[in-house]
Amino acid sequence: MKPDLLPSSNRLYFDHAATTPLRPEVVAAMEPYYAKLGYNPSSLHAEGRAARAAVDRAREVVAGVLNARPREIVFTSGGTEADNLAILGVARAVRDRGRHIVSTAIEHSAVLAALDQLRDQGWEVTLVEVDRNGVVDPERFRAALRPETVLATVMLANNEIGTIEPIAELASIAHERGVLFHTDAVQAAGQLSLAVDALGVDLMTLSAHKFYGPKGVGILYVRGGTPLAPLIVGGGQERGLRSGTENVAGIIGAAEALRLAEEERDDYVVEITNLRDRLEAAVAAIPDSRINGAGAPRLPNNLSVSFAGVQADALLIRLDLEGVAASNGSACAAGSTQPSHVLQAIGLEPAFVGGTIRLSLGKGLDAASVRRVGELLPELVGELRAAAPV
C-alpha cells in the first residue's frame, strides 16, 4: 500500500498541539525493535531478555527526566489511556474513602469523559471555574475541596489556549487536605519542566506523539504508594497496572523522544517563544482580533487567536489551500463542530468564539514561515470579512 502523499512538500505545519512528526533520531532508535529485536519482554529466552532490558532502560530514561523512580513509570497506549487510568483507577482504588473529585472546566475530553463515567456511577464532580485567561484560582480550588474529596485533576497546560496552571500550588493545597493530585501534562512536555518532585503531583500523564515521539504511547507517572487499580487486566505487565504485551518499539521511541526534548528544552523554548511572539505581533495588528490566554503564563508554542466576524472553518480552509496547516483548537475531539468548552469557560464573547484558530508552532518552522503566515492572515481575514460581513 502506497502512503497518501501531501499536495506539496513546502507546506507549513502549525498544528503541533494536535501531533508532532517523529524525529529521525527517534525513528532510528525504534527501528531495530520493529525488525530484528521485536520480541516479547515477558519471554525468558535471550530474545525476550533483550527486549526486557530495552524496556527497562527506557523506563529509567523517562524516570530520569521526571525526577522519579523507574518503578513509578507505567507505559500505556497513549495520553487518553493514561488519563483514564489515573482518574478511573484511583477512583476504583479509593471509592470507600469518599466519592468526590475536583477538576476544571477546561480539561481535555480524556479527563472530562472519565469524570462523566464516574458521575454516572454516583460520584460527584466539581469543575472549578477559570478566569478570562484560563487560569485556575487556588482559592477557588481550595473552596471546592470537601471532606469526601479523594482526587483532584488539573492540567499542567491547556491544549487550546496554552494556559499554564499553578500546579505546584494546587497540588500542595490538595495534599494539605489529604487529596491525591493528578495532572495532564500532555501539552507541556518539551516546553516546561516535568520534575514531579517540584510539581508535587501524585500522578502525571504524558503522550509521546506530542514531543516528536510515536503515536499510541503514553506514560503515567504514579508516585510510590498511590492507590491505583488497573483498568486493563490480563498478564500483569507494568506491575499489574496495565496488562498487555509491551509496545517495545513505541516505548523505546517515547523514551528517546522525551530524553531529546528535555536535553533541548531551554534552547527550544527561547527559539519557539521568539517565533511565536513575532507571529503574535503580526496577528494582533489585525482589527477586531483577540489573543486568548495572553494575560497569563502560556506555552511558548501556542497562539490562539479569535477574529470577530470570521468563521474559523472558512479561514482554516483558506489557510490549508495556501499550504498552511492550522486548527480550530482541539483535533483530539474528532471532527467536533461544537463550540469549544475552553473558549466558553474563559467567557470569550460569542462573536469571537466562532472565529478562533489555534496556531501551534514546533520544529521545522523558522522566521520565514512565521513571516509568511503573518502576511497571509490579515489578507485572508480581510477577504472573508468582505465576503460575508456580519
Per-residue mark of binding to ligand PLP, 8-47 (x: CB under 6 A): ----------------------------------------
Query: Which of 15, 72, 83, 202 contacts ligand PLP by CB under 6 A?
Result: 83
Q: Tell me how far apart the alpha carbons of residues 173 and 329 are, in angstroms, rounded to a whole number.
A: 30
Nearest alpha-carbon partner for 369 in 325, 304, 327: 325
In this structure, what DSSP letter does residue 365 have? -
Q: Which of 59, 87, 53 has the alpha carbon at shortest distance from 74? A: 59
String of contacts with ligand PLP for each residue 313-332, x by CB under 6 A: -------------------x
Q: Is residue 247 near ligand PLP by the rule CB under 6 A?
A: no
Taking residue 6's Cβ as centre, other Cβ atoms within 10 Å add up to: 11
Closest CB 219 distance from ligand PLP, rounded Å: 10
CA atoms within 13 A on the CB side of 297: 10
Q: Which of 20, 133, 149, 187 binds ligand PLP (CB under 6 A)?
A: 187
Work out whether 165 is an interface residue with ligand PLP (CB under 6 A).
Answer: no
Query: What letter would DSSP give residue 134?
Result: S
Residue nearest to ligand PLP (CB): 79
Q: Are strands 73-76 and 218-222 parallel, antiparallel or unpaired?
A: antiparallel
Question: Helices H, strands E: what count in the chain?
Answer: 12, 12
**Of these, 15, 72, 184, 246, which contacts ligand PLP (CB under 6 A)?**
184
Q: How far is the CB of 344 from ligand PLP (least distance, A)?
A: 17
297: number of Cβ within 10 Å:
15
Q: Give the interface segment with ligand PLP, choosing from 73-81, 84-92, 286-294, 382-390 (CB under 6 A).
A: 73-81
DSSP letter at 127?
E
| Chain-centroid distance, C-alpha 380 | 29
**39 or 212, CB closer to ligand PLP?**
212
- Quick note: the x/- pattern for ligand PLP over 86-125, rule CB under 6 A, is ----------------------x-x---------------
Neighbours of 337 (CB within 10 A): 7
**What's the min distance (Å) between Cβ of 80 and ligand PLP?**
3
Q: In angstroms, give the least distance from the CB of 228 to ligand PLP.
A: 18
Stretch in the footprint of ligand PLP (CB under 6 A) among 76-84, 143-151, 270-278, 306-314: 76-84
Is residue 78 near ligand PLP by the rule CB under 6 A?
yes
- Report the SS3 class of residue 145: coil
Kindly state the DSSP code that residue 23 receives in the 8-state scheme. Answer: P
Residue numbers 121-160 binding ligand PLP by CB under 6 A = 155, 159
Distance of CA 108 to CAs 113, 114, 167, 326, 373, Å?
Answer: 9, 10, 16, 19, 28
From candidates 103, 149, 153, 207, binder to ligand PLP by CB under 6 A: 207
Q: Is 71 exposed, middle or buried (0-12, 13-18, 19+ CB in 10 A)?
A: exposed
**Residue tagged 481550595 (cell numbers):** 142
Dihedral of alpha carbons 28, 23, 215, 83, sign: positive
Minimum distance from residue 331 beta carbon to ligand PLP (Å): 7
The correct pick among 80, 301, 302, 369 for binding ligand PLP (CB under 6 A) is 80
User: What minimum distance in Å lies between the beta carbon of 319 and ligand PLP?
Assistant: 21
Kindly indicate which of the ranges 5-13, 37-45, 79-87, 170-178 contains the residues binding ligand PLP, using the contact rule CB under 6 A.
79-87
Q: Is 389 one of the annotated active-site residues of the chain?
A: no
Is residue 311 within 8 Å of residue 380, measured between CB atoms?
no
**Selected catalytic residue, list 201, 315, 332, 380:** 332
Residue closer to ligand PLP, measured from CB, 289 or 330: 330
Residues 6+ apart with CB under 8 A from 226: 90, 180, 202, 203
- The residues of the shown chain that bind ligand PLP, judged by CB under 6 A, are 78-80, 83, 108, 110, 155, 159, 184, 186-187, 207, 209, 218, 332
Question: So which residues are the catalytic ones?
Answer: 332
